[in-house]
Amino acid sequence: STLFPYTTLFRSRLVADVEYRWAQDAAFLGVSPTWKTDAYFYRSPEEKQRLVGAAQTDFAKPWLHQVHLQWEPFPDRVVKHELAHVLAGEFGTGPFLISGGGLANVGLIEGLATAADNSEGGELTLEQWAAGMKRLNALPSLVELFTPTGFWGTEQGRAYTAVGAFLRFLHARFGGTQALQKLYRDGDFAAATGKPLAELERLWLAHLDSIPMDQ
């Protein structure tokens, strides 16, 4: 059935999985919230459209500590990404607790959630996908992706992969969670890492050349 299976066993498995993904995100982002997140799963796009006005789009509301998701067979592939948006609200700014405050920095918002999620597509890691795109000359410019319009102007699969892999690189090389929190809050690469974005991109590209493409 495509309907949400309201059984005690399923609900207990779903809750346990959401809590596990929440803990993974919290550890990567370096936060220990005292609040809980409300996760809403909808039985169909029609129900989701009727109740929240977004039939096909999964989304998070950091300022309300909520995620809204289309139900899919267990385990849910999107919940970890959306939970990361909510948890990043611990160091986000403005009324919506996001990067950039009133003028959202979409590259940082989606990049941080993708980095925390760190999901693998097929047999390749997030980092390997970025390395593969570089070798195919399909890797987008980071300078463009972190501009207000550059992220949405890039093919979305490549945009998400690039910013997510790049922020994981910064997490590993430039101060871990503390640097990422400062970067997300202020949007200033040089202040967070000691290096401007152009130099960070150069270092990242050199790093991608060293990534093996097999397991």
DSSP string, 186-206: H--HHHHHSS-HHHHHHHHHH
Confidence (pLDDT) at 120 = 62
Q: Which three-class secondary structure state does DSSP give residue 28?
A: helix
* Residue-level pLDDT at 71: 80
The whole-model pTM stands at 0.91
DSSP state of 92: -
The pLDDT, as a whole number, for residue 2 is 40
Q: How many other C-beta atoms are found inside a 10 Å radius of the C-beta of residue 20? A: 13
Measure the CA–CA gap between 89 and 86, rounded to whole angstroms.
Answer: 5
**Which residues in the chain come in under a pLDDT of 50?**
1-3
- Residue 199: CB atoms within 10 A of its CB come to 13
Give me Rg for the CA atoms of the chain: 18
pLDDT computed for residue 1 by the predictor: 31
Asked if 20 and 27 touch (Cβ cutoff 8 Å), the reply is: no
